[in-house]
Chain A
Amino acid sequence: MIKKILIANRGEIAVRIIRACREMGIESVAVYSEADSEALHAKLADEAVCIGPAAPSESYLSMDRIISAAVVTGADAIHPGFGFLSENSRFAKLCEKCKITFIGPGAEVIAKLGNKQEARNTMMAAGVPVIPGSQKPVYKAEEGEKAAAQIGYPVMIKAALGGGGKGMRAAETSKEFKKCFDTAQQEAQNAFGDGMMYVEHLIQSPRHIEFQILADSYGNVIHLGERDCSIQRNHQKLIEESPSAELSEELRQKMGEAAVKAAKAAHYVNAGTIEFLLEKDGSFYFMEMNTRIQVEHPVTEWVTGMDLIKEQIRIASGRKLSCRQEDIQLSGHSIECRINAESPDKGFRPSPGTVKDMHLPGGKGIRIDSAIYSGYTIPPYYDSMIAKLSVWARNRSEAIRKMRSALGEVIIEGVDTNVDYQYEILNHPEYISGNIDIDFIENMKR
């Protein structure tokens, strides 16, 4: 079993992982940047190592520094959380070389699934439905335009190594293709240092449905049901829930089987997420596989009763899965709202600053995952998500009521947040009716 875990992350996910370590009797090592010396994760961990200046490239993305911190503290495993180095195959490889257990899939699997084109090919070969798209990586607008003409407009242009909505543009017609392509490629170049793109058919107003899977090193793969993450703004998820109001038991089974098939095809090990786009007619397409823990994992934990971080650690320690597919029963309904320090009135501009005072809700079926505390200064260098509020109730409408009540109780003074914005969504008739798709926010603006 793993004895000491270095958490190569910050914020609430680092805190979440440290808590799991504390419960499991595993020592924890936090790493933090100069801007994070007062951060909760650095205070809560058994040990904390400063790894460099505020800029992520100099700290949370600096592989050699993180590895050095692990060596110095004698950590035998690294949990990468999400974002930063979590899906960096070279980092996973480096851990392996230094005899450090990387809590996640192996480097080859990350590399294979991280390249969208290769991931698509793997899925097609395994018989998992994929969105019609370009067969080869595209580097030039002209090549892309040719591919787009074959696929049929509207099309989506995506960075092959992308994620988080960066390096993505939709082109409605061939006329605007070049401009969209060039912008997306530029963005991809800046964000991932790679201009490899691909083009695929744009599915009009689908739902974003993802399946959580768990796989051990012995070939056992199970899925833990779906999450509906259709409420997104600029490709950034805002609200996630499980189960999805749209899925029948039959469709859930079908998609779940496809997800398991996908994970098996990729020889996947550890926790992962298969993202699908679900069309109104019930057809679904594999979009990508995320080879890490997701932000929204609490909703799955609510409806399955499992602790995904602990499962990750157990799998990485070489244990077999503790349950089989038939043991998994989804119960009740869970919703998660991401609380960001941002100003919805000012175009969702990040709003870093000092939290002067705060009050967070509690009670039955209410969970807060956060790294802020009274007097904490949110640094401007990182993601603006400061808390995740999740609720569980017996059914969706009860969960919505619980979430509204909980949101209504959130007080965070000193910085702007999107709490009121989330409250508005929770009161929107279309949201309440469950009739949502990925254009929900876009349509709500009108």
Chain B
Amino acid sequence: MKLDNMFKKPSVSSGKKGKRPEVPEGLLRKCNKCGRAIIAEDVRREFYICPKCGGYFRVHAYRRIEMVTDEGTFEEWDRELKCGNPIEYRGYEDKLAGLRDKTGLEEAVITGKAEICGSPAVIGVCDGRFLMASMGEAVGEKITRAVERATEECLPVVLFACSGGARMQEGIFSLMQMAKTSAALKRHSDAGLLYISVLTDPTTGGVTASFAMLGDVILAEPKALIGFAGPRVIEQTIRQKLPKGFQRSEFLLKHGFIDGIVERPKLKDTLSKILKLHARDIKLQEEEPRQHEKSIKHQESTLSQQVSIVMGGEPDAWSRVLLSRKTERPAGIDYIEEMFTDFVECCGDRCFADDRAIIGGVARFRGLPVTVIAQVKGRDTRENLACNFGMPLPEGYRKALRLMRQAEKFHRPVICFVDTPGAFCGIEAEERGQGESIARSLYEMSGLKVPVLSIIIGEGGSGGALALAVADEVWMLENSVYSVLSPEGFASILWKDSSKAKEAAEVMKLTAADLKEMGIVEKVFSEPENYTAENLEETAALLTREIERFLAEYGRKSPEELTARRYDRFRRL
């Protein structure tokens, strides 16, 4: 049955008209991403994110400060600082005066000091309403002054970048701001202080090519446009259509230029976590009564911590090779989850890509901030494709090295989990210098002025493993292996027959026990039968206790003593 126009309309009572509804000014606004009408209040409440499409609105500087700092803690600096008209560009003063009237801002950046969840920091926020937050003398000067004052007061700096680049109206003076701000940040960094850069939409030109890209940690908001040359300029120059997602945050993450993408609602917490991880004078927490205590005792009574070399029924070398390769074995990430807290992953080598075969970041070990780096193996094909079956590319080693240098800057110990069949063997690896990247790691690690510990948890495949194992101590798990080459490769090179891998494994002396005896590694840790992430707890407890000892012992040594010992450790081999 169709009901169209079937019903009779009853008469409507007469009398004066009812009041007309009307939408007051400013109640609704249009999302510039999806074009739909949205309630302005919803946008404000939801961190200026479109409730319909999830697109991010640009945020005014003071709103941003409200969003990320503790209420009432912001103290603005240099509010009245203004620039002149250095190249006497016609109409510039009028333009600025008009903008000041319209926006209530004196210039395109707001700087000052505030607390973020209780952590004090110097903060600077660009405001895109003011000439697209382009950097002229005033912006450069305000940022420079803020950074200088942060250096003086030993405070971290957090800058929110959003800019069209250099301010054309100020000519060459605007170009000089790039050098000025960068130089101030260099001094700040040399003083051992933390700089977090947050890239928001859009960050381009001279700002990208100066302070925005110099953070110890660089975060970005999702889908923000970040680049040096603007996409339109590139398109016009090369006469090609740019791919989708080009120069967006996700593109930069993939290409290794940012540490991570943080959604706006989580930004304050993330900043606070990073700031707290970089607070000064954090000590290793005193030993507290631990839940693991019981299991450790149990372990000690049933298994000796350092495994004796040969016992009846012990697996042979080849079996251990197979055990070390088992996909069920706990992977680096499992140890990070079990033994560390507050892990903040830092991505990218700042050159080419973010290699998922090595992950790293800052975390706490018993309260103490440490840099933790782990080679990654997947548990299934999908994961393995993502992490290239645990075979790092040069960018992986360059990322690891970048994080180690940062650890040195912030006086954090470095803990590496080694688990790789070997560095990736392929055209792209050679093109980007696989050999150079490994060599550079060995070279730099030998001189790191902080304690370095490496733990081989699975396969220790050749140079690909050594690149994370130039350490003060190297430990192994009972069924991990460490060798110059895979047994298959060894058999193939020496005996021209890769099927003799089993025999090769026996003569290569690649088991933990062999290596311990030969003095290549310091400690061997027992592991339960059928070792998986499920029964990781006991081994992790043993490791935790020994890492505590390691950090306490090596934490006391001077940088000279550390590097001298590390030099000797390899010198004698």
Contact = CB atoms under 8 A, between A and B. Distances in A.
Contacts of B21: 67, 70-71, 74-76, 98-100
B276 to A, nearest CB: 21
B3 A64 contact: no
Interface in A59-91: 63-65, 67-68, 70-71, 74-77, 90
Contacts of A74: 18, 20-21
B3 A76 contact: no
Interface in B5-54: 6-7, 9-13, 15, 17-24, 27-28, 37-39, 41
Contacts of B233: none
Nearest to A373: B1
Given A22-B10, A25-B12, A98-B27, A68 B22 contact: no
Contacts, number: 72
A68 B21 CA distance: 10
Interface stretch (A37-45, A139-147, A253-261, A430-438): A37-45
A99 B19 contact: yes
B12 A27 contact: yes
Contacts of B28: 64
Contacts of A46: 9, 12
B11 A25 contact: yes
Nearest to B29: A64
A94 interface: yes
B4 interface: yes
A74 B9 CA distance: 18
A71 B4 CA distance: 25
A92 B212 CA distance: 44
A24 interface: yes
B1 A375 contact: yes
Contact of A99 (B6, B10, B20): B20
A2 interface: yes
A23 B13 CA distance: 10
A201 interface: no
Contact of B18 (A4, A43, A98, A373): A4
A26 interface: yes
Interface string A1-27: 111100000000000000000111111
Contacts of B12: 25-27, 46
A63 B39 contact: yes
Interface in A92-127: 94, 97-100
A4 B6 CA distance: 21
B19 A25 contact: no
Contacts of B1: 373-376
Contacts of B11: 25
Nearest to B17: A3
Interface string B237-269: 000000000000000000000000000000000
Nearest to B4: A43
A98 B27 CA distance: 9
Contacts of A63: 39
Interface string A367-380: 00000011110000
Interface in B195-241: none
A411 to B, nearest CB: 16
Contacts of A100: 21
Contact of B3 (A1, A43, A71): A43
A112 to B, nearest CB: 19
A99 B22 contact: yes
Contacts of A67: 21, 23
Contacts of B41: 90
Of the four ranges (under 10, 10 to 19, 20 to 34, 35 or more), the interface on chain A belongs to 35 or more
A97 B19 CA distance: 13
Contact of B23 (A26, A44, A71, A77): A71
A65 B41 CA distance: 15
A383 B17 CA distance: 36
Interface size class of B (residues with CB under 8 A): 20 to 34
B37 A64 contact: yes
Contacts of A376: 1
Contact of B7 (A25, A44, A65, A97): A44
A43 B5 CA distance: 7
A323 B41 CA distance: 40
A18 to B, nearest CB: 10
Contact of A98 (B6, B13, B15, B23): B23
A71 B21 CA distance: 5
A22 B13 CA distance: 10
B17 A25 contact: no
Contacts of A23: 10
A1 to B, nearest CB: 7
Interface in B267-286: none
A115 B19 CA distance: 32
A44 to B, nearest CB: 6
Contacts of B6: 43
A22 B3 CA distance: 17
Nearest to A25: B13
B250 to A, nearest CB: 26
Nearest to A70: B21
B15 to A, nearest CB: 7
Contacts of A43: 3-4, 6-7
Nearest to B36: A64
A77 B10 CA distance: 19
A198 B27 CA distance: 34
A64 B28 CA distance: 8
Contacts of A3: 15, 17-18
Contacts of A68: 23, 37
A98 B22 contact: yes
Contacts of A25: 10-13
Nearest to A38: B3
Given A43-B6, A98-B21, A98-B24, A24 B13 contact: yes
Contacts of A76: 18-21
B39 A71 contact: no
A373 B1 CA distance: 8
Contacts of A65: 37
A71 B22 contact: yes
A4 B11 CA distance: 13
B425 to A, nearest CB: 46
Nearest to A99: B21
A353 to B, nearest CB: 16
Nearest to B41: A90
A76 B7 CA distance: 24
B24 A97 contact: yes
B3 A40 contact: yes
Contacts of A71: 21-23
Contacts of A27: 12
A92 to B, nearest CB: 13
A296 B253 CA distance: 56
A76 to B, nearest CB: 4
Contacts of B18: 1-4, 74, 76-77
A74 B61 CA distance: 39
B40 to A, nearest CB: 10
A12 to B, nearest CB: 15
Contacts of A99: 19-22
A74 B38 CA distance: 20
Contacts of A2: 18
Q: For B4, B11, B13, which residue has the most chain A Cβ atoms within 10 angstroms?
A: B13
A97 B10 contact: no
Nearest to A3: B18
A64 B13 contact: no
A26 B18 CA distance: 10
Contacts of B19: 76, 99
A46 B5 CA distance: 10
Given A3-B17, A74-B21, 13 more contacts: A2-B18, A25-B11, A40-B3, A43-B6, A46-B12, A64-B38, A68-B23, A68-B37, A70-B21, A71-B22, A76-B19, A97-B27, A373-B1
12 contacts: A2-B18, A3-B15, A3-B18, A27-B12, A44-B3, A63-B39, A70-B21, A76-B19, A77-B18, A94-B39, A98-B23, A375-B1
CB-based closest 4 A-B pairs: A25-B13, A3-B18, A76-B18, A43-B3
